[in-house]
Amino acid sequence: MSSITATSTRNNITIASYGDLPIVVKKYSTHERFYAESKMLARLDSPFIVKPIGIISNEHKLAIEYMVNGDLHAFLQKIEYPLSLLPQARAYIAWCVAKGLADLHTRGIEHQKLTIKRVLLSDNMDVKICGLYGAAFVPKTLEDFGAVDILAFGKILQELLAAPKGYEPHEDDEIPITPAWLQDMALRCVLVDPNARPSIISIVKVLEENHANEGLLYHGLHHETSLSIFKFTLTVTPKPIVDFKDIENRIKALEPMNPKVVPIEKIPHLDPAKLVHEGTYVASSESVTQFQGKYDDRPVIIHQLHKHVSPREQELLTTHIEARAGLDSPCVDKLLGLCEVNDLACMVVEGTSTTTLRDLLIRSRPYMGEFIWHCKLQCARDIMDGVKYLHSQGILHYNLSTMAVLIDQATHKIKLTDFGYSKMTQSNETLTLGTGGCRWSAPEVIRHSGMESVYSDVFAFGVLLSELETHQVPYYETKNDTAAQQRIAKGDLPAFTSTCPLWYSQLAQDCMHLDPFQRPTPADIIARIEAHLHGSGFDINSGPAVINQLDATRLEFGKYIGGGIFSNGYLGLYDKQPIVLKRPNNHSNSTEYDRPTYFFREVSMYIRVPSPFLVQMLGVAQVPSSAPALILENMDLGSLASYIMTISDPDTFHEATRLHIAFSAAQALAHMHEAQCVHCDVKSDNIYLNSKLCAKLSMLAVAQYLENPNEGAETLPLAGTLLWMAPEIMKGDRYTLKSDVYSFGVVLTEINTLQRPFSSTILSRYTLPQKVATGELRPELRSDCPSWYSDIANACLAFNPADRPSMEKVVEQFRKKIVELGDDFNPDFSNVSIEVPSLNIAGLLDSVQKVNQEDVTVSTCVLGRGAYGTVIWGTYQNKAVAIKQLHSATLKDRHKLQKFLRELDIMTRFRSPFIVECFGMCDLAAAGPVLLMEYMNKGDLRRYLDGLRSRQDALPWSTRCEMAHALIQAIALLHEMNIAHRDIKSYNLLLNEELELKVGDFGEAHPMSEIVYDDLMEDIGTVLWMAPELFTGNIRDTSKTDIYSFGVVLSELDSLQRPFASKEMTVFAIEHAVAKGDLRPEISTNAPEWYRELAEACLSYDPDKRPTANSIVARFQKRMLGSM
């Protein structure tokens, strides 16, 4: 082999690439081992045994396929929660191993050296056996043939079924139960008597009887419905095999249509003097143009024959007129008569201001504007109702397409036209793209002339459905009509968007079946559409959800772009197309909020509400792992919140663009509410924009299904965000659909003002929610806000939930406004004046110690996230470090950047064993300026304590006091330098391997002489650790707020639980009680008496009664010199 590029080497194993193919090159210590495994693998061809790629014989090297997830032992070591690898997935892995052994045993081969480390996994969960250098041919007649491999399999199965290492369940954890048959199999495989162990064939049989071979990787119940995720498998749907000669004979044998026509001579001739030709164009075909006009003061549509037409074209028009004259249907304009204008023959029909459906579609993008999905379905139903009526009158349409459908732009009522004759008799090749009728013609019509039938009309309707959904000419990617005909003839179907409802695309595909006699009847089509005409017209997936993983080999991870409590986001590529990936925020295995449950809850919610106005879920990958990936479309303009921050000229952010964003977000919420789902966190940060003019709602981790919408859902501790919360939520009521409506009203104020809610309000963290909760305060609109907009926003912001409109009503109000605007509704992001603040970061960072960026590597492993940056694991000079990367919004905000610089200054200026060490900063091209800090491998104190809840004795009081002593020494050092930390909490206290505690995150630190009010709403501190005066704004001494927070940490070290964990109160109820002095954290009687007295003094309501940091240090030193 040649052209091998090595990337890393360990223990004689080199990960490399052979061209574009990732491989593993294995070097053998002896010629015998190299020869034995090479020869054995060359003989085998099994999907459950690693495949050889080639050999380098003179170096004793063998190249095999690269299995990205490594060996099974290492894979299991990364599993933190039982939910990350359910029994079904474990059984599937066991089945793959068993199948690999079965393939060996049926050939008379024993592996003989099988261990858990010789089972490899790919990122698509392909499982394969390796390490066959010791395999040998053994006579099958031996009594214990294969027993050694069965024993090894049993040991692997026991490890596979064991709980994750170090895992201790919390009381609210959902622990999957391993089925008894699988446990029994593991026990029987390790029996001492080799002859008592089952054969590999019987093992495979039992596994397959229990469906282990189906590749089910996840199954769980979320939002009252089950979610099943299966392994990725490559499937190809074969095209139906059709006998076109038989079809031709069957169509020719059909009863001929007998149209009910009115002879041309019996059709009334109108008085030209009463006909007013207004000249307003409506539509046009090859030989006829339609204009608006009036006859005897009645609105009419004039179908005027072109001046230079052939006799054949005149004959076709006559055929159409004779067919139309006897019709009486709301889907066909009534024929008034014939007339001549300027010596040109005209047909005059009743009609008002209309346009073709094609013209309406090309003026907007899919899912944008007033022609909403429900209206489209009504339109489709009416079109097929018209076709059904024509058929009942013995008339084929022949030319059904969006150009042969007229539509009233205000009411969306349709009229069929251009029917009763075949345009296929004319050549369309010279026509503009998409105007040739061949693109709507059925395959049998293209293959043979005279094959038009009711079935070909149904096919054309299927094509029309694709156009109605995509707004694109059928087969738009094929520019030549003849080439399009060739595609149709061989059974190619037009495309649909990725957000198209499945039932709709399936109906269209059924209509376009290659076999005409397999297509549904007009009555069937109408029934299927009407079944979806309720509500928005989008399917609500209330039944079991079943999906397959995406192909992980086509997935590429890019840079980290942000995260939250539940997940972290990354840019990436799938099939080379930009995407966003979300992974669970698994920086700890013992937190309350980062379990895989929230990942699957979000997946399930995306499936339940398939709305084009939600950020599209493309799929999932790498599910049975510690870091499954949720793959979403990339909204390249970012969040609405960040977008409006960059608008430099509000006048360029036109009314139509604002209306479009509001209308799109409203439809997303309406679709969720129709599915009885409440979002619980509607805000501008969770609405995303892209350059294709899409505005979509996202972040569904805390969304909840409401089994009874009238009762609402329990308020989640972390659901919602303060500035967008409805008054009733601040009072602790349940989340309801109307709570979302209020939050949406707050978003409307942001779209109007281009500012964050309450940006002009100087109120404390405590006062503001109290005023909102009592109805004294709500977000404001601009004084020049249009009345129609303020009416909608104020209705949404009504204090009483019952007075707020439903989102369905809000959508209809926005739709009516768009109809009213007409052609003035032309949203456009490209003309918005955007200005990203230019900050001289290099100049601002001149005083900070720099490190060489070549010595720094950044991983994708997120350790934590703060208000201004995210902490990621990395290395500096090959030593593990924590790298703090600024959020992109921080780089655009001078105020936030100054906080980052203040943190840099403190961490580089203060050298203390009680403060996390800072090595300096560097400017990475991909990540911007980053801060390199000491890596504390035990994580933060809060999550460490979470893991000790059930083991009080695991943290002796001596260790607890040492931690508290370290913390107060750090606080004392800051206070001596006249600096208040202002965010002391267990999440900002980090532990190393020796459980030494150090303070980190100084983003909120400030000189004590500065009483800062301008950012009190930016979540200074964290509610459960905040002193009462921070809620009221009555701050006299900021150092004493640190002492109070220290007292809260003392309570955590005592109870090992979060503050107020025993109180069944909402965050806002806790705020209110703490602010009034009615509540503070409790210290148990298990704590030493002096410790309890100190904690209570630190938690004094009166700041003046709290001790100083230095006095507390002295008290600790005195106590720690003696006994605890």
Contact 989, 997 (CB under 8 A): yes
Do residues 916 and 959 share a domain? no
Predicted pLDDT of residue 50: 93
Q: Is the pLDDT of residue 685 over 90?
A: yes
Among the listed residues 983, 1001, 1042, 1054, the single catalytic one is 983
Predicted pLDDT of residue 732: 81
Do residues 374 and 343 share a domain? no
**For residue 269, what is the DSSP state?**
B
Predicted pLDDT of residue 307: 80
Beta bridge pairs of residue 304: 289, 346
Residue 673 to residue 807: CA distance in whole angstroms: 8
Residue 916 to residue 937: CA distance in whole angstroms: 12
Query: pLDDT band for position 838 (50/70/90)?
Result: low
**HEC sequence for 637-674:** CEEHHHHHHCECCHHHCCHHHHHHHHHHHHHHHHHHHH
Do residues 23 and 102 share a domain? no
- Residue type for 980, please? A
Q: Is the pLDDT of residue 1012 over 60?
A: no
- Select from 669, 622, 423, 389 the least CA-distant residue to 523: 389
**For residue 554, what is the DSSP state?**
G
Q: Which two tokens stand for residue 943?
A: 């999550």
CB atoms under 10 Å from CB of 457, counted, come to 26
Minimum mean pLDDT among 176-190, 696-710, 765-779, 1049-1063: which range?
765-779
Do residues 1019 and 1096 share a domain? yes
Query: pLDDT band for position 1018 (50/70/90)?
Result: very low
Q: Which two tokens stand for residue 12?
A: 């004689």
Q: What is the mean pLDDT of residues 454-465?
A: 96
Q: Which two tokens stand for residue 101?
A: 């052994």
CATH number, domain containing residue 393: 1.10.510.10
Residue 848 to residue 471: CA distance in whole angstroms: 55
Give me the torsion for CA of 530, 532, 535, 541, rounded to 10°: 160
Contact 1050, 1080 (CB under 8 A): no
Q: Is the pLDDT of residue 522 over 90?
A: yes
Structure confidence by residue, pLDDT tens digits, 732-768: 889 999 999 999 999 999 999 999 999 888 777 667 8
Residue 907 to residue 918: CA distance in whole angstroms: 6
Within a domain: residue 895? yes
Do residues 676 and 815 share a domain? yes
- Cα three-residue angle 663-463-325, rounded to 5 degrees: 100
Within a domain: residue 1098? yes
Contact 793, 817 (CB under 8 A): no
Query: pLDDT band for position 448 (50/70/90)?
Result: confident
Within a domain: residue 216? no
Residue 12 to residue 776: CA distance in whole angstroms: 72
The residue from 909, 934, 959 where one domain ends is 934
Predicted pLDDT of residue 432: 41
Q: Which two tokens stand for residue 69?
A: 């997830």
Residue 997 to residue 970: CA distance in whole angstroms: 10
Q: Is the pLDDT of residue 63 over 50?
A: yes
> Can you say how many angstroms the Cα of residue 685 is from the centroid of all Cα atoms in its chain?
14
Residue 1060 to residue 1067: CA distance in whole angstroms: 10
Q: Is the pLDDT of residue 424 over 90?
A: no
Q: Is the pLDDT of residue 159 over 70?
A: yes
Predicted pLDDT of residue 7: 56
**HEC sequence for 38-49:** HHHHHHCCCCCE
Minimum mean pLDDT among 43-47, 201-205, 710-714, 878-882: which range?
710-714
32 Cβ neighbours under 8 A, 6+ residues apart: none
Q: In what order do the strands lie in the sheet with 695-697?
A: 638-639, 687-689, 695-697
Q: Which two tokens stand for residue 932?
A: 């390199």
Structural domain total, the chain = 8
Q: Is the pLDDT of residue 890 over 80?
A: no
The residue from 303, 324, 351 where one domain ends is 351
Do residues 301 and 420 share a domain? no
680 vs 79, higher pLDDT: 680
Q: Is the pLDDT of residue 1124 over 70?
A: no
Q: Is the pLDDT of residue 1017 over 60?
A: no
Do residues 944 and 1024 share a domain? yes
Within a domain: residue 836? no
- Identify the residue whose tokens are 């032992």: 73
Minimum mean pLDDT among 10-19, 329-338, 473-482, 1103-1112: which range?
10-19
Predicted pLDDT of residue 442: 92
- Select from 985, 977, 1034, 1045 the least CA-distant residue to 1011: 1034
Residue 1022 to residue 987: CA distance in whole angstroms: 10
Residue numbering of the annotated binding site: 884
Q: Is the pLDDT of residue 652 over 70?
A: yes
Question: Could you give the C-alpha distances from 95 to 196, 203, 215, in angstroms and in order?
Answer: 20, 8, 9
Q: What is the mean pLDDT of residues 362-376?
A: 88
Query: pLDDT band for position 169 (50/70/90)?
Result: low
Beta bridge pairs of residue 884: 871, 931
Across the chain, what does the average pLDDT equal? 86
Do residues 642 and 730 share a domain? yes
Within a domain: residue 260? no
Q: Three-state DSSP class for 843?
A: helix
Contact 659, 616 (CB under 8 A): no
- DSSP per-residue letters across 70-93: -BHHHHHHT--SGGGS-HHHHHHH
Q: What is the mean pLDDT of residues 170-190?
A: 82
- DSSP per-residue letters across 964-985: HHHHHHHHHHHHHTTEE-----
The residue from 910, 934, 958 where one domain ends is 934
Residue 1018 to residue 600: CA distance in whole angstroms: 30
Within a domain: residue 16? yes
Q: What is the mean pLDDT of residues 909-938?
A: 81
Query: pLDDT band for position 718 (50/70/90)?
Result: low
Do residues 465 and 341 share a domain? no
Structure confidence by residue, pLDDT tens digits, 625-637: 878 999 999 999 9
Of all residues in the chain, what percent carry a pLDDT higher than 70? 90
Do residues 701 and 811 share a domain? yes
Structure confidence by residue, pLDDT tens digits, 765-801: 667 888 898 999 999 999 999 999 999 999 999 999 9
Predicted pLDDT of residue 428: 42
Alpha-carbon torsion (591, 592, 594, 600), positive or negative: positive
> Can you say how many angstroms the Cα of residue 629 is from the centroid of all Cα atoms in its chain?
10
Residue 812 to residue 122: CA distance in whole angstroms: 50
Structure confidence by residue, pLDDT tens digits, 558-597: 887 877 777 888 899 999 999 999 988 765 444 454 467 8
Residue 132 to residue 130: CA distance in whole angstroms: 6
Within a domain: residue 541? no
Q: Is the pLDDT of residue 840 over 50?
A: yes
Alpha-carbon torsion (785, 791, 796, 801), positive or negative: positive
Residue numbering of the annotated binding site for ATP: 884
Within a domain: residue 249? no
Is 172 considered catalytic here?
Answer: no
Do residues 910 and 846 share a domain? yes
Question: Could you give the C-alpha distances from 499 to 531, 577, 665, in angstroms and in order?
Answer: 19, 16, 16
Residue 1117 to residue 939: CA distance in whole angstroms: 26
Contact 254, 457 (CB under 8 A): no
Residue 104 to residue 146: CA distance in whole angstroms: 9
Alpha-carbon Rg for the chain, nearest whole angstrom, is 36
Predicted pLDDT of residue 527: 97
Q: Is the pLDDT of residue 844 over 70?
A: no
CB atoms under 10 Å from CB of 998, counted, come to 21
Structure confidence by residue, pLDDT tens digits, 284-304: 777 788 888 999 989 998 988
1050 Cβ neighbours under 8 A, 6+ residues apart: 964, 1083, 1091, 1094, 1095, 1098
Range of the domain at 277: 267-351
CATH number, domain containing residue 335: 3.30.200.20
344 vs 120, higher pLDDT: 120
Do residues 726 and 803 share a domain? yes
Pairing, β 869-876 against β 879-886: antiparallel
Alpha-carbon torsion (470, 471, 477, 483), positive or negative: positive
Question: According to the per-residue pLDDT averaged within each range, which of 250-259, 895-904, 988-997 is highest?
Answer: 988-997
Residue 343 to residue 601: CA distance in whole angstroms: 70
Q: What is the mean pLDDT of residues 170-196?
A: 85
- Cα three-residue angle 57-59-63, rounded to 5 degrees: 65
Residue 332 to residue 324: CA distance in whole angstroms: 8
Structure confidence by residue, pLDDT tens digits, 594-613: 467 888 999 999 999 989 99
1081 vs 281, higher pLDDT: 1081
